[in-house]
């Protein structure tokens, strides 16, 4: 009974913290602008325009706890911090305090699961060795859960960007062939794809904003390839850079790249379809074949058993 009460209290506490940190309702344009700039909901500009903003209690507690929680998992040098920022950017998180919160979550989740496992094993009357085994195992699992969440989020976002890339490439080709400059075409694609492929639209808008700030186009496109971490984006950036360097037609290069992406996506779909037959073997052997054997051989086995019983009498 005590373990259930502890679990309910922990869940209620997490729900209250999540509610306190949940962002307020904003328009789609405001959310997109804030995500592109990597700002939080309570940025300084908004506070100056609308008066002094008030931070919630949960946010103040998180800001105080995070520096203490990241000490056990703090990266050793700036290179590891940079790699962590790139991984978080690949998942779509670009805020300044995102690495701190991610590292803190590893410690917090690990300690939380370890405490839950310890309380459960103690209430169940386990031995000291069992308690320590569950305590260390749950702590290790909780420590690795944020990494699994980050890899899952990165994989989903990369898949969404990869699926929207051929359509965006076609629209980019049409815009360039209609007379727009490449920068204008990228801005146009970013605006048009906002509702269909918001992740890719966001990346194109970041490229536009970086160009408006004076960053060279090749560098801005290279930053997009680094943020996404997708080989197709890197290939696209290389094609555009090479076409501009040698003075060839950008529209033709983009069209060839779009056709290559569609071909690659179709081949990947065919490969997944071919793997389906192999993946079906396990459920067929474990679940379907035994049921078929029971239906086909069951009546015959019953009759054979009855015959042998009659012969024994």
pLDDT at 87: 87
φ/ψ of 70, rounded to 5, equals: -90, -5
What pLDDT, on the 0 to 100 scale, is given for residue 54? 45
Find out whether 58 and 125 touch, Cβ atoms under 8 Å: no
Q: In this predicted structure, what is the pLDDT of residue 75?
A: 64
Per-run averaged pLDDT (10 residues), the chain, 313 residues: 59 58 50 53 38 46 56 66 85 82 82 85 81 86 88 90 85 86 87 87 89 88 88 86 82 84 85 86 85 84 83 69
pTM (2 decimals)? 0.67
In this prediction, residue 37 carries a pLDDT of 53
113: tokens are: 């699961």
Domains identified in the chain and CATH numbers: 160-267 (1.20.81)
**Each residue's pLDDT tens digit, 179-204:** 888 888 888 888 888 888 888 888 88
Write the secondary structure of 75-118 as one string of H (helix), E (strand) and C (coil). Answer: CCCHHHHHHHHHHHHHCCCCCCCHHHHHHHHHHHHHHHHHHHHH
| Inter-residue contact 229 to 90 (CB < 8 Å) | yes
């Amino acid at each position: 009974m005590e373990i259930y009460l502890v679990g309910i209290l922990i869940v209620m506490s997490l729900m209250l913290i999540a509610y306190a940190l949940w962002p307020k309702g904003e328009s789609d344009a405001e959310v997109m602008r804030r995500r592109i700039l990597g700002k939080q909901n309570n940025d300084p500009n908004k506070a100056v325009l609308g008066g002094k903003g008030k931070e919630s209690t949960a946010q103040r507690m998180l800001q105080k706890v995070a520096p203490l929680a990241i000490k056990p998992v703090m990266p050793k040098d700036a290179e590891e911090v940079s790699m962590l920022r790139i991984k978080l950017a690949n998942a779509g998180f670009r805020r300044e305090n995102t690495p701190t919160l991610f590292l803190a979550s590893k410690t917090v989740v690990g300690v939380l699961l370890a405490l839950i496992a310890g309380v459960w094993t103690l209430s169940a009357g386990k031995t000291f060795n069992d308690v320590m085994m569950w305590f260390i195992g749950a702590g290790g699992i909780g420590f690795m859960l944020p990494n699994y969440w980050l890899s899952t989020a990165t994989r989903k976002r990369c898949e969404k960007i990869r699926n929207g890339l051929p359509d965006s490439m076609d629209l980019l080709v049409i815009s360039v062939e209609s007379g727009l400059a490449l920068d204008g075409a990228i801005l146009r694609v970013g605006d048009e794809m906002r509702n269909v492929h918001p992740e890719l639209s966001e990346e194109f808008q970041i490229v536009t904003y970086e160009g408006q700030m004076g960053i060279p186009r090749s560098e801005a496109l290279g930053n997009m390839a680094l943020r996404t971490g997708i080989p197709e984006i890197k290939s696209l950036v290389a094609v555009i850079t090479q076409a501009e360097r040698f003075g060839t037609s950008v529209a033709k290069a983009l069209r060839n790249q779009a056709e290559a992406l569609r071909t690659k996506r179709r081949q990947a779909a065919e490969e997944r379809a071919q793997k389906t037959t192999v993946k079906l073997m396990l459920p067929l052997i474990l679940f379907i074949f035994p049921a078929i054997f029971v239906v086909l051989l069951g009546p015959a086995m019953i009759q054979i058993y009855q015959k042998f019983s009659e012969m024994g009498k």
